[in-house]
Amino acid sequence: MSNQYVISNPMTKFCIDVQEKNGTPKAETLLDIYPQRTNKPNQLWEFQPDPSGYYVIVSALGNLVMDVQEKNGTPKPETLLDVYPLQSGKHNQLWKIVPYTYNGQLQVDGLPTNQNSFNIQSALGDLVVDIQEKNGPPKAETLLDVFPLQPGKGNQLWTITAPTFYKYNPTVTLLNPNDVHLSGNTLTVAFIANGFFPGGGVMCEYTITNENVDTNAQGPPVYTADFGGVVAASFAIDASLGFGGASLSVTLTDTYNGLSASIANNWVIAANGSFYQS
């Protein structure tokens, strides 16, 4: 199964939904908000990277993507969202995931929150996915449009989570022991970050232990793509700490989800500075 997500609005607790009023959804079916329903493909979305640096947001219904309608010319504020077959490179089908913060704090309607909330911004410009407010406070089946960004507005903020009906958790793992290298004083660790890492980084830490030295150090965060991939952390260490023989352990910590992965103390820095697995 591909990595599919539910996109929910923390203010209403409803999620983005492809309407089913007239049977099975098809091209040009509108998007609304609706209570989450288990295992419903019209509420599941996959984020596929585009060469432009944006994402195409693909419905689990098939080859239909989140789309800003173009029925009446160039989209403008309050243009409705629908699903439509992918048209490669079309700006009305490209999106950016932008974390919302205010003075360094996550916010919802101006109040601090522990939720990780995001604006979903169109490649068309300063237009974001928005729950319409034309007919009063949003409720189930309220339609979605694009509207100029209003920082902190609850009807423009979204959370992105794995659905509850299958086990999928973001992970940070080493590819294999052979992907840990020491060349001179540069330690390189290749790993895979699998999951949702919006603007997050993976911290690589190491510990060198021998009979004379027990030292802990860490490299800077290595920033992954929002939805993960294979990346490598490289940073300088003092290889002389291993002279005479020492063991090395490495821990990777995902700074967004708070997950970590580690390797055992089975790498040795020999007296000549070479690095090998014991």
Cα–Cα distance for residue pair 192/216, rounded to 1 Å: 23
Its CATH architecture, for the domain 171-277, is Sandwich (2.60)
First-residue to last-residue Cα distance in the chain: 37
Distance of CA 150 to the CA centre of its chain: 22
CB count in 10 Å sphere of residue 198: 15
User: What residue spans define the domains of the chain?
Assistant: 6-161, 171-277
- pLDDT, residue 166, reads 44
Model pLDDT for residues 85-141, shown as the tens digit of each residue: 999 889 999 999 887 765 554 444 444 444 567 899 999 988 999 999 877 788 999
117: tokens are 């909330």
CB count in 10 Å sphere of residue 25: 22
Cα–Cα distance for residue pair 128/125, rounded to 1 Å: 8
Distance of CA 16 to the CA centre of its chain: 17
DSSP 241: G
Cα–Cα distance for residue pair 42/38, rounded to 1 Å: 11
Under 8 Å between Cβ of 222 and 192: no
Its CATH architecture, for the domain 6-161, is Trefoil (2.80)
Question: How do beta strands 101-102 and 105-108 pair?
Answer: antiparallel
Cα–Cα distance for residue pair 68/49, rounded to 1 Å: 18
Cα–Cα distance for residue pair 113/95, rounded to 1 Å: 24
- pLDDT, residue 114, reads 44
More confident residue, 3 or 139: 139
Model pLDDT for residues 21-50, shown as the tens digit of each residue: 766 788 999 999 999 987 789 999 998 888
Model pLDDT for residues 197-246, shown as the tens digit of each residue: 665 667 777 666 666 655 665 666 666 667 777 777 776 666 565 555 56
CB count in 10 Å sphere of residue 143: 19
Please determine whether the domains at 6-161 and 171-277 fall in the same fold group of CATH. no
Look at the alpha carbons of 137, 138, 142, 143 in this order and tell me if their dihedral is positive or negative: positive
- pLDDT, residue 90, reads 92
